[in-house]
């Protein structure tokens, strides 16, 4: 399993506009291709102009296949165009995580 952890930072005062745009034009398409995220939330402390989402994939190949299908989806392409035109986003950081060897193992009694 791998986790795709993404942090997006919006220009100050624009996160609500961006989240609304995503909800109306991107959420359905992204979930259709990637499934349900592990986490999708706005940051409440620290950089409050940011939001984070984490998606789980079986493997790097699974991630590549699903993301390629999403990239080819006209609904997703339309969202990306609207997002770029809105100018809400300031930065994006992507991190691929793999579970530590002890993660998911039951605790010893």
pLDDT in tens, 8-60: 999 999 999 999 999 999 999 999 999 999 999 999 998 899 999 999 999 99
Look at residue 46 and tell me if it is in a domain.
Answer: yes
Average pLDDT of the chain is 95
Q: pTM for the full model?
A: 0.87
Count how many domains the chain has: 1
**What is the sign of the dihedral through the CA atoms of 96, 101, 106 and 109?**
negative
Look at residue 16 and tell me if it is in a domain.
Answer: yes
Q: Supply the range of the domain harboring residue 41.
A: 2-97
CA distance 36 to 28: 10
Look at residue 73 and tell me if it is in a domain.
Answer: yes
Q: CATH number, domain at 76?
A: 3.30.70.100
């Amino acid at each position: 399993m791998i986790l795709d952890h993404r942090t997006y930072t919006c220009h100050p005062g624009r996160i609500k506009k961006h989240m609304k745009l995503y909800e109306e034009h991107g959420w359905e398409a992204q979930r259709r291709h990637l499934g349900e995220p592990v986490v999708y939330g706005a940051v409440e402390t620290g950089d409050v102009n940011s939001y984070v989402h984490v998606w789980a994939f079986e493997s790097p190949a699974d991630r590549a296949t699903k993301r390629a299908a999403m990239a080819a989806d006209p609904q997703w392409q339309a969202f990306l165009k609207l997002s770029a035109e809105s100018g809400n986003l300031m930065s994006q950081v992507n991190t691929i995580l793999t579970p530590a060897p002890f993660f998911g193992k039951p605790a010893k009694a």
